[in-house]
A and B are shown apart, each in its own frame.
Chain A
Amino acid sequence: MGAVYSKGKGVLSALPFQQEPRIKVGCGACGIAAGAQEVYDRIVGYVNEKKIPVAVEKTGCIGMCYQEPLVEFEGSDGTNVLLGRLTPEIVPSILDGYLKDKSYDPEQIVASSDYVTDEDSFFKKQYRVVLANCGRINPEEIEEYIAVDGYKGLSKAIRSMTPGEIVEEVTKSGLRGRGGAGFPTGLKWKIAAASKAAAFKPEVSKEEVKYLVCNADEGDPGAFMDRSVLESDPHAVIEGMIIGAYAIGAREGYIYCRAEYPLAIHRLRLAIEQAKTKGFLGERILGSPFSFDIRIKEGAGAFVCGEETALMASIEGNRGMPRLRPPFPAERGIWGKPTNINNVETYANVPRIILRGAGWYTGLGTDKSKGTKVFALAGKIRRGGLIEVPMGMTLKEIIFDIGGGIKEGKEFKAVQMGGPSGGCIPKGLLDTIIDYDSVTKTGAIMGSGGMVVMDEETCMVEIARYFLDFTQKESCGKCTFCRIGTKRMLEILEKITNGEGEESDIGRLEKLAANVKMGSLCGLGQTAPNPVLTTLRYFRHEYEAHIRDKKCPAMQCRGLITFRILPGSCVGCGLCLKNCPVHAITGERKQVHLIDQKLCIKCGLCRDSCKFSAIEVV
């Protein structure tokens, strides 16, 4: 790795409560997948063994997922050093250096308060509102959240503002729904607040109940913003929900979270308990007449439940199928009661807006899209991770300045935004700025914030097939065009990627796309054709190459490629033969091997295993 570094003011700053030295291990679900638990165990073991005077704690995700597992050393003198790509094996030498004279292996430093490193550019263009505490504070300790101004927004709201003033402030801030559609949050709250239901009278009957829901059913493949926020700063989301409930007059709340996020659910449960103990949640919050409680509902694996009416059906214990709107949830929601639904990131913005004022928030972003947006960078990008930028930044800045460009020096091809509802934005549009309207103009959507970067080796027809396969499986089946139309579109795309495409297929895809969009009730069906439409718009030549020339320009589609062993390079080591799952490769040791094309399933495992680059794809 070997980061270039020098002494100087780095990107990390001390935390306000930083006194005793401690070691923080980034233990978000992704950190754990990269081996953070083993690193944590080894650190704890070595600290105890050598009696090193330092506390060891788990935190959430600071966002530099590409450097996981990450460990931060917090000094009592206000210094912070973040080390990356740690393994249990090197823990003793790192801790020995720390114990001796707080020196660290420069190879491991990725960010610091006293060093400038070439990884700093990952942070420099970011502006962190929602992610401010992520990876910095211990998400399982409410005291740390309180020490970084946590629950101050709530206390300001309840002690010095009326519900109407809160709605007004959120409206003035220009905050729009971060789940993807971008509906103005203030307006949503205004409608929910006006919806008839007496809020917090002690004698409130069931007829007067309103609900407030946090949509944490982050289902887009390629998106992990909400998971990270819930794992790293759960109190921010809970505080935002309580403020929202006070503003609209809700007494009961739900967090609908994917069951695939067990750590997020665990930390939310803990945070709810702690908030209740401190009097921020439950009966008579902060001594006011306002009471509010939150329940967690675990999703059961249905993508469509991210759609609000399906989500409500699921909370009620039914099949998660969407229904017609109007009536909107604000009028008739869960069990027919007025219900307000916002996304995780939207709620996490709220405490900061209330505390710092709408004026501060409108200072960030563009004319019609205020504030910041969190993105999950993944795919063929060098620095994959979680980032937050002011609205108005260009895609180029995000992908190249923050994300460090493409892995292994390959060529950028497209960035996929908005998951299965979104589209692929090509190189020519990299100057597009991040705001709801500009992204929509490209044919993609802002979405919840997944950005999957693709390079020259990604086949755009295959990607369209991948998304249609996804939406086709996830369609709830209620609307004919969504249920059958997506299936037919998938079949055509499969035909094309198998090399059996016909000239008329593109036209049929376009016609079906229009019909599916028009004939579907909810967002899933209405946006399902987007991945096909955007790839047709920007990468039509790839479709044509598949259909007319029977070639896959990215060399990915199995029906259109052939693997061959280069006799000049093959040394006959037998590795490909050993790895071939269908035993299509033959050859004596130290003799040139041969692939039986009739048996070959084009999986490419032989090429991946060959150490001599002796297998080519044509």
Chain B
Amino acid sequence: MNAVDTSGAFSIIAKENTHDGSLIPILQKLQAHYGYLPKEILVLLAKRTGLPLAKILGAATFYAQFRFVPLGKNLIKVCHGTACHIGGAPKLTDYLKDHLGVIVGGTTKDGLFTLEQVACLGCCSLAPVMMINETAYGRLAQSKIAKIIKEYRERE
């Protein structure tokens, strides 16, 4: 595996490390830059900020947002909020697992999709809902999901 390019991290840390409590915003910016939190970068963060690595890892592992492995090109988040749950979200997740050949949290072999389930996206009246990257899709059914996934594949 190639070494992680640290130049982005240097400038993010320099720019964001401005006040007490900026650890979480820094982690968010680092993840936005790298797609996940590489080990080398967290070590670098500890050195640059003087914060103990244990504190950084403690915070990073507490929050569901942070990831420690790279993502697929597209992140699919299936909403499992209450309305989506009673609207059939578990079935849709099963369908996606089967359709993509991954487990929840896994990435497809071609690296195109990572499948996640999330607590609630707040689009409850359009349940069931999923989000791919920043785009939300509502009133889902199996056939609609198949069509959406196909569109993403065709864009490649």
Q: A221-B80, A222-B82, A335-B20 are in contact. Are A378 and B124 (CB under 8 A)?
A: yes
- The answer to whether B125 and A66 touch across the interface, beta carbons within 8 angstroms, is yes
Interface residue A220 (Cβ < 8 Å from any Cβ of B) = yes
B:53-85 near A, CB below 8 Å: 55, 58-59, 62-66, 80-83, 85
A68 proximity list for chain B (CB < 8 A) = 125-126, 138
B136 proximity list for chain A (CB < 8 A) = 29-30, 32-33
User: Bound state CA distance, A450 and B146, in angstroms?
Assistant: 30
Interface residue B119 (Cβ < 8 Å from any Cβ of A) = yes
Residue of B nearest to A224 (CB): B122
Q: Could you name 30 residue pairs across A and B whose Cβ atoms are closer than 8 Å?
A: A29-B136, A34-B126, A65-B125, A66-B125, A68-B126, A221-B119, A222-B124, A223-B124, A259-B65, A260-B121, A260-B122, A262-B134, A298-B28, A299-B63, A300-B27, A300-B64, A302-B63, A317-B23, A318-B58, A318-B59, A319-B58, A378-B82, A378-B83, A380-B86, A385-B125, A452-B124, A463-B82, A581-B94, A581-B97, A605-B95
User: Bound state CA distance, A220 and B136, in angstroms?
Assistant: 19
Q: Choose one: A29, A321, A416; the contact of B82 (CB below 8 Å).
A: A416
Number of chain A residues close to chain B: CB under 8 A: 64
Interface residue A562 (Cβ < 8 Å from any Cβ of B) = no
- The answer to whether A581 and B98 touch across the interface, beta carbons within 8 angstroms, is yes
User: Bound state CA distance, A544 and B75, in angstroms?
Assistant: 41
B64 proximity list for chain A (CB < 8 A) = 300-302
Give a binary string over B134-151; 1 marks a CB under 8 Å from any A CB, 0 the rest. 111111011000000000
Interface residue B33 (Cβ < 8 Å from any Cβ of A) = no
Q: A222-B82, A300-B64, A301-B64 are in contact. Are A378 and B142 (CB under 8 A)?
A: no
B62 proximity list for chain A (CB < 8 A) = 302, 319-321, 476
- The answer to whether A33 and B138 touch across the interface, beta carbons within 8 angstroms, is yes
- The answer to whether B59 and A319 touch across the interface, beta carbons within 8 angstroms, is yes
- The answer to whether A34 and B139 touch across the interface, beta carbons within 8 angstroms, is yes
User: Bound state CA distance, A603 and B99, in angstroms?
Assistant: 14
- The answer to whether B125 and A30 touch across the interface, beta carbons within 8 angstroms, is yes
* Residue of A30, A221, A262 with most chain B CB atoms under a 10 A cut-off: A221
B50 proximity list for chain A (CB < 8 A) = none
User: Bound state CA distance, A320 and B59, in angstroms?
Assistant: 8
Interface residue B43 (Cβ < 8 Å from any Cβ of A) = no
User: Bound state CA distance, A452 and B23, in angstroms?
Assistant: 36
- The answer to whether B98 and A317 touch across the interface, beta carbons within 8 angstroms, is no
> What is the CB-to-nearest-CB distance from B89 to chain A, in angstroms, rounded to a whole number?
10
Interface residue B120 (Cβ < 8 Å from any Cβ of A) = yes
- The answer to whether A320 and B134 touch across the interface, beta carbons within 8 angstroms, is no
User: Bound state CA distance, A320 and B61, in angstroms?
Assistant: 11
A:93-151 near B, CB below 8 Å: none
Q: A221-B82, A259-B28, A298-B25 are in contact. Are A320 and B63 (CB under 8 A)?
A: yes
Q: Choose one: A32, A65, A219, A579; the contact of B142 (CB below 8 Å).
A: A579
Q: Choose one: A303, A377, A379; the contact of B86 (CB below 8 Å).
A: A379
Interface residue A419 (Cβ < 8 Å from any Cβ of B) = yes
Interface residue A438 (Cβ < 8 Å from any Cβ of B) = no
User: Bound state CA distance, A326 and B88, in angstroms?
Assistant: 43
Number of chain B residues close to chain A: CB under 8 A: 47
Give a binary string over A579-599; 1 marks a CB under 8 Å from any B CB, 0 the rest. 101000000000000000000
B138 proximity list for chain A (CB < 8 A) = 30, 33-34, 68
- The answer to whether B91 and A603 touch across the interface, beta carbons within 8 angstroms, is yes
Q: Choose one: B28, B55, B82; the contact of A419 (CB below 8 Å).
A: B82
B6 proximity list for chain A (CB < 8 A) = none
Interface residue A609 (Cβ < 8 Å from any Cβ of B) = yes
Q: A419-B82, A603-B91, A608-B91 are in contact. Are A317 and B123 (CB under 8 A)?
A: no
B139 proximity list for chain A (CB < 8 A) = 34
- The answer to whether A384 and B125 touch across the interface, beta carbons within 8 angstroms, is yes
User: Bound state CA distance, A419 and B124, in angstroms?
Assistant: 13
User: Bound state CA distance, A384 and B83, in angstroms?
Assistant: 10
- The answer to whether A30 and B66 touch across the interface, beta carbons within 8 angstroms, is no
B21 proximity list for chain A (CB < 8 A) = 315-317
Interface residue A155 (Cβ < 8 Å from any Cβ of B) = no
A474 proximity list for chain B (CB < 8 A) = 119
User: Bound state CA distance, A470 and B58, in angstroms?
Assistant: 22
Residue of A nearest to B27 (CB): A300
A:568-618 near B, CB below 8 Å: 579, 581, 601, 603-605, 608-609
User: Bound state CA distance, A224 and B97, in angstroms?
Assistant: 27
Interface residue A46 (Cβ < 8 Å from any Cβ of B) = no
A:173-212 near B, CB below 8 Å: none
Interface residue B127 (Cβ < 8 Å from any Cβ of A) = yes
- The answer to whether B63 and A377 touch across the interface, beta carbons within 8 angstroms, is no
- The answer to whether A376 and B129 touch across the interface, beta carbons within 8 angstroms, is no
Q: A221-B80, A316-B20, A320-B63 are in contact. Are A466 and B85 (CB under 8 A)?
A: yes
- The answer to whether A223 and B65 touch across the interface, beta carbons within 8 angstroms, is no
In addition to A219-B119, A259-B28, A317-B59, 19 A-B residue pairs with Cβ atoms within 8 Å of each other are: A30-B136, A33-B136, A33-B137, A68-B138, A220-B120, A223-B120, A224-B125, A259-B65, A260-B121, A299-B63, A300-B65, A378-B82, A379-B83, A384-B125, A386-B125, A450-B82, A470-B119, A581-B95, A603-B95
A319 proximity list for chain B (CB < 8 A) = 58-59, 62
> What is the CB-to-nearest-CB distance from A111 to chain B, in angstroms, rounded to a whole number?
17
- The answer to whether B126 and A317 touch across the interface, beta carbons within 8 angstroms, is no
B58 proximity list for chain A (CB < 8 A) = 318-319
